[in-house]
Each structure stands twice: as C-alpha cells, then as structure tokens.
Structure 1
Amino acid sequence: MRLAVLLALVALPAAAQEADCTDPMTQSDMNRCAYADWQAQDAGLNRAYRAALALLQDWDAGLPEAERGGAEALRAAQRAWITFRDRACEAEGYAMKGGSAEPLLVYGCMARLTEDRAEQLREMVEAYGG
C-alpha cells in the first residue's frame, strides 16, 4: 500500500512535466527519470510476457486437457514475481526512507528487476519457442 502511494506521488508530477533524462540535475528530475526508465522497462516486460504466454498457450493447446497448465503456471509465477519485485524494491528504498531520494532508489530497483525479468522471459521464448 505504501509503495502504491509513493508511486502515485511521483507519477503525477512526471506526467505533468518532462525531465531532461540525458543529464538530470535535480533530485526531482532524477526521480522522474528513474520512473520513466521503469515505465520503459515495464513496457518491454509486457511484450516479453505476452510472447512467453502465447508460447505456453500454444504448448497447452497441443497437450491432452489433463496435462495442460503451462500458461496458468506462468500467470501465477508472474503475479508472484510482481509481488516480490514490489516488496524487494520497497525494502531497498528504506536506505533513504522519507527522503527525496527514496523514489530514485525504488524506481531504479524496479527498472533493474523488471529488465532482468523481461530478459528471463525472452530467453525462455528463444530457447523453447524456436
């Protein structure tokens, strides 16, 4: 819940004004740029997840009904991973708890873990999807 409030507080100003992310100079700009990076990584994760889900749905379609479940397993894994990411990054943010740099730590962590997860899913599709 606390993470959701933090995300909302930083997201609103980010939508209202664009920071120059090539060389952010203020803490506010750094926070907005970290948020923008996380959003970009999240878009990539969504593409990778859709590709992995489609692969598993195709696998499931070729199996007898009693043996299906790959797509649902991926959905459950992704939900669990999102919970893990959010809590892990909230914990990382405690290094600057209550300070203006807390969002930078949280969003930086979220971008990093999201990029890693997207790469895991892309590798799965490449390895098993042809």
Structure 2
Amino acid sequence: MVRAARLLPAAAVLLLSLPSLAQEEPEVDCGNAMAQIELNICADRDYQAADAELNAAYGQAMAAAREMDDSVRDMGEQYVGAADALTRAQRAWIGYRDGQCELAGFEARGGSMEPMLVSGCLADLTRKRTAELKALFTEED
C-alpha cells in the first residue's frame, strides 16, 4: 500500500503531461505538403498567421477610433462613438466570417478536406478584413 501511495504522485504527473504531448503539432513542410492532413495543418497555420495580423490591425484601428473620439469629445457626445461602432462592426464581421466559412466547408462536409476548406476561407476573409481595418488608420498619399 505504501508503494502504491509513492507511485500515485508520479502517475498523476505523467497523466497531466499527456494532454500537452497530444497537442503538439507534427513537423510539416508547408511548401511541400502533399497528404491531406498536411494540407489541413498548413491551411490552419495560414489562418492563424492571418488572425494574428488581424488582431494587430484591430488594435491599431481601435487606437485610431479612440483618438478620433477624443478629438471631437469637446464638440459634444453626439460626435463620439467611433470606438463603439468599430467594436460592433468587428463582432458582426466575426459572425459573418464564421458562418460563411462554415458554409464553405459543406463542399466536403464530413470529409478529410473540410478543415482545409474552412481554414482557407477563414484566412482569406481575415486578410480582407485586415486590409479594411488598416484603411481606417493608414493615410493614403
């Protein structure tokens, strides 16, 4: 019984480490991906990169919207609201993006290609939204 009590903490540590091991992504050369699982992984990586860029652009757009609000606050509260409008627009866009990309996956619903189609759609729409957000705070010459 004492021996089992000593092994219990070691077993608990091993079991707790298993989920992190299972989540490790395999090495995939996305420049030469051939198998569907590799294509799915690469499409997801592409979306994750696009999402990171979107988040950075959203932060900059929000800073610009807040600055816009601050610049007109002395004119009256009826002129303030750019930051709130951006928040509402982004939330609505996320709902649109997710629904549209779920729909795109139906082309291969239940098949091994479905995740690639969804991730590809997510990456494409996310890049387009990033460009829209950048236009809010980037001045054209």
TM-score, normalisation: structure 2: 0.78
**SS of structure 1 residue aligned to 2:31:** coil
Matched, 1:110 2:128: no
Counterparts of 1:95 and 1:83, CA distance in 2: 20
Larger CA Rg, structure 1 vs 2:
2
In the TM superposition, 1:32-111 aligns within 5 A as: 32-64=41-73, 65-111=77-123
Give the count of matched residue pairs: 118
Q: Who is 2:36 aligned against?
A: 27
Counterparts of 2:47 and 2:22, CA distance in 1: 15
> What residue ranges of structure 1 are gaps of 5+ in the alignment?
1-11
Amino acid aligned to 1:20:
D
Cα-to-partner distance string for 1:51-109 (whole Å, 9 max, x where unaligned): 11100000111223332110010011001001100000000100000000000100000
TM-score, normalisation: structure 1: 0.84
RMSD of aligned alpha carbons: 1.9
Amino acid aligned to 2:82:
G
Counting aligned pairs with the same residue, the percent is 43
Query: Could you tell me how far 1:19 is from its partner in structure 2?
Result: 1.5
Query: Could you tell me how far 1:14 is from its partner in structure 2?
Result: 7.1
Query: Could you tell me how far 1:43 is from its partner in structure 2?
Result: 0.5
Cα pair 1:14 1:32 within 8 Å, conserved? no
Amino acid aligned to 2:79:
E
